[in-house]
A and B are shown apart, each in its own frame.
Chain A
Amino acid sequence: MSIRKNKYLASIFVILMIFVGLTMSNLPGPATPTGLQTIDGVVYNFADYRTLNRDQIGMFNYFNGITVNQDYNMWDGWYADGYLAGMRHYFAAFVAYTMATLFETTPGYRPSVYQDFSDTIVSKMNTTIAEYGNESIEYSEWGRSSYPDYYFPDPNDPSGIPMGGFRGPANIMWTGHYALMMALHERNFNTGEMVDELTWFVEDWNNSLTTDGRGNPQEGGIWGVGLIPCEPHLVFVNCNAIPVFATELFDNLIGTQYMEGGMWKYGLNYLNNIMQDDYDLFAYVTQVSPTLGDTDTTPSDYPFMSGDDQGPTVSAYGTSWALMFLEYTQENETIKDYPVFIDTYGREISNDQMYILGSYKYPQNFVDVTAVLGSLFSIPLANQRGDYRTVERLRNFWLSSTNQVWSADGREMHYEEGMTSIMKAFEPVVTFTTTWGTIPTTMRDLGDARPAEFWDYPFISEADDDSIWVYQAEWDEDKHAFILTIEVDQTATLTFSNFDSAPTAYAGGIALQQLASVGSGHTLTLNPGTYNLVIM
């Protein structure tokens, strides 16, 4: 019997055609083209160089769109209002880190669009009450709280050490992130504009960690644990991981020796040996002083780890974040703890999907914000550890029912539906975390400053950014050639700086064109298409 005579099969065909037509979306894009080129006997294998893909650049364009085109105090498109207003600038901080890894993947492409984004997101992190009133980060972070009148060790006793404002000393979550954002900006763009402010924060941390807060040396610093609280009576492991990494980078950028000098030694020892759970993973939080109005405890009762009958409070959010940012400083600890973390907190949904529990003590808690963030932050952690199978499984979980949405002009990419339909704020968060976990450069790679000679290498200083997709762009110092993989939507011109004389662009081993000298730079004009270029 033919299909034409079988009404049921014929109906199935029709329904299938309609159904496939309606659901034809979310297919993976093409891989970035790489290949081999031989020029004058020298082989250039493009697969050897770091590569971005279209999704990652589309993700940058999306965040660029909701970041630079509005005032510093405006957060349209971040969907983090209400109680999430206290978290949105932290989302922004993590977006800044995501973009820093993206920028580093194509270090020879440093257009104004990247630098402006980096500069803007740092500025959005630091809006003050004086300038923006209740719409400022200072207000949402500190001004609306009871913290301004807070003292240590007794928060009610004004004869103690004042815990200051949102710039410190007892607000390490904000100061750590803000300082790291500035450090990464300086690392990636070498402007020198943020060095003084960055220095102030590092010196303030040093004072908090090595003295009693009144100028006298004291082991364990003001709070006696070698770590800095936020809120300001709670010390979180994750919040301290950020300034540790910022201090490492600051030392490498400026040439100081705070890390070698032991600024964080006591605190790291405290984290690794005391602030631990039953699995020898980081516990989440230690209380270092009473809260305002607390009459049940006295300062001598502190510090102690927060917890319950089942032991200390644990959190995938805190642990994943801390493991990632502390790897640069204590690689062996992260290598040792990472598989235990995945085994303890991980839950398998299927052969190709898994998620991370917010707390292994409460496995039924699934959609709490920090539980979701813990699962999402584990994606870049797994990527940093080279555990690409876990990256894929976590991404499959979070993206299994989301739609990849491209803007009308095809330049901006983000995710909608799926988990983001439960909470709109997850739209940007899922977009950057799941993409961050696919970028070949990791946070650990950003701990080192660029060598001094890097700033003399040829690079793309200007381009028709809206018409191009720069997948690979870096100077190969060994071969004295600039490696560029680029897709051009409309005829575009790129301006290179730091070439001594007009170089030639090669494609497929054959000279494509000699760059034109314009002012102090050299320009390359490309027609629509995708190119693997060696410029030398």
Chain B
Amino acid sequence: MTETEVTEASETEVESSETPSTPIREKLGIQSRNEIMSVIIVAVVGAILYLILEMVPMPYLGVSIIPLGLVPSLALVASIGAIRGPVAGLLTGYIGVLLSNLILNGAIAALTLDGFALGVLGFIVGIGKYDITNGRSLIKLSLMSAIGLGFTALLTAVIGIFVEGVATLAVIAFQLLPILSLGLPSVILLTPLFARLWCWFVERFTPSAEE
């Protein structure tokens, strides 16, 4: 199923839904109960996938104080925003960080605001509409992911300084720089790839796509 088809299907659901439609709800992709359920399910599955990706050690290269490498979990959050809308992207990031904090680190950091910061990446990417089969649309997806990551980085820095009381220099060196040096290549390169893989998966395995 392509993104266009996904949008059409959503519109059909809107017509049959008891929930009143508003432009904001339409933009957020939560116009009907079915859509809300679908967003929640996608977010939970996405959060579990996020946790799994976080468990896999990823290679990186240190260049001076900058690490270079890929963080697929960031691209996953952006991809889910692109595929299922801003709320799904936001929730995937938030729940994913919450889950990984609890399961991998046994604690909650920064009043869960770090999860919110990551969720903003998925939210911003989800605001746009993409045709995953189209190269230009994928370029747009990469750009939106980079913009979303910029907001995530800024939010993380603000949380670090004002909530965690981290030294400004530490925020710059150990939060901003790594998010950008690891995150930008990840979301620019991997997000369109993940989205295209999802599209291929839907086309290949879902009954509606076969019809």
Assess the B70–A19 pair: CB atoms within 8 A: yes
Which residues of the partner chain B approach A23 to less than 8 Å between Cβ atoms? 59-61, 68-70
Interface size class on chain B is 35 or more
Asked if A115 is an interface residue, CB under 8 A from chain B, the answer is: no
B64, B65, B101, B185: the one contacting A19 at CB < 8 Å is: B185
Cα-based distance from A403 to B61 in the complex (angstroms): 6
Residues of chain B within 8 A (CB-CB) of A400 are: 67, 174, 178
B165 close to A363 (CB less than 8 A): yes
Asked whether B61 lies within 8 Å of A15 as measured between CB atoms, the reply is: no
Contact partners of A27 in chain B: CB under 8 A: 57, 59
Q: A348 to B174, alpha carbons, bound, how many Å?
A: 11
Q: Cα distance A363–B161 when bound, in Å?
A: 10
Q: Is the CB of A366 within 8 A of B167?
A: yes
Question: Which residues of chain A have C-beta atoms less than 8 A from B67's C-beta?
Answer: 400-401, 418
Instruction: Knowing A8-B135, A347-B167, A416-B62, say if A401 contacts B178 (CB, 8 Å).
Output: yes
Determine if B41 is an interface residue (Cβ-Cβ < 8 Å). no
Residues of B18-48 at the interface with A, using a CB-CB cut-off of 8 Å, are none
Query: How many cross-chain pairs have Cβ atoms below 8 Å apart between A and B?
Result: 126
- A178 to nearest B CB, angstroms? 35
The answer to whether B61 and A397 touch across the interface, beta carbons within 8 angstroms, is: no
Q: Are A351 and B101 neighbours in the complex by a CB distance under 8 Å?
A: yes
Contacts A9-B138, A27-B57; A401 near B62 (Cβ below 8 A): yes
Q: Are B59 and A16 in contact (CB under 8 A)?
A: no
Instruction: Report the separation of the CA atoms of residues A402 and B63 in the bound assembly, to the nearest whole angstrom.
Output: 8
Contact check: which of A15, A349, A389 meets B175 at CB < 8 Å?
A349
Is A511 part of the binding interface, using a Cβ–Cβ cutoff of 8 Å?
Answer: no
Q: Beyond A347-B167, A363-B167, is A15–B178 a contact (Cβ under 8 Å)?
A: no
B189 touches A16 (CB 8 A): yes
Q: How large is the interface on A (under 10, 10 to 19, 20 to 34, 35 or more residues)?
A: 35 or more
- Give every chain B residue within 8 A of A348 (Cβ-Cβ): 109-110, 164, 166
Q: Is A417 an interface residue (CB 8 A)?
A: yes
Chain B residue numbers with a CB within 8 Å of A417 are 62-65
A4 to chain B, nearest CB (A): 12
Q: Within residues 5 to 47 of chain A, which ones have a CB less than 8 A from any CB in chain B?
A: 6-9, 12-13, 15-16, 19-20, 22-28
Q: Do the beta carbons of B59 and A24 come within 8 Å of each other? A: yes
Q: List 8 A-B contacts (CB under 8 A).
A: A9-B135, A15-B189, A350-B156, A351-B105, A353-B174, A363-B167, A364-B167, A418-B62
Which B residues are within 8 Å of any A CB, using their own CB? 57, 59-70, 97, 100-101, 104-107, 109-110, 114, 133-136, 138-139, 156, 160, 164-170, 174-175, 178, 185, 189-190, 192-193, 196
> Knowing that A16-B190, A403-B61 are A-B contacts, what are 11 other residue pairs whose CB atoms are under 8 Å apart, sorted by A's residue number?
A12-B189, A23-B60, A23-B69, A24-B59, A26-B59, A26-B60, A348-B109, A348-B164, A348-B166, A352-B105, A363-B167
Q: 7 smallest A-B Cβ distances: which pairs?
A: A417-B62, A366-B167, A401-B67, A8-B135, A23-B61, A351-B101, A401-B62
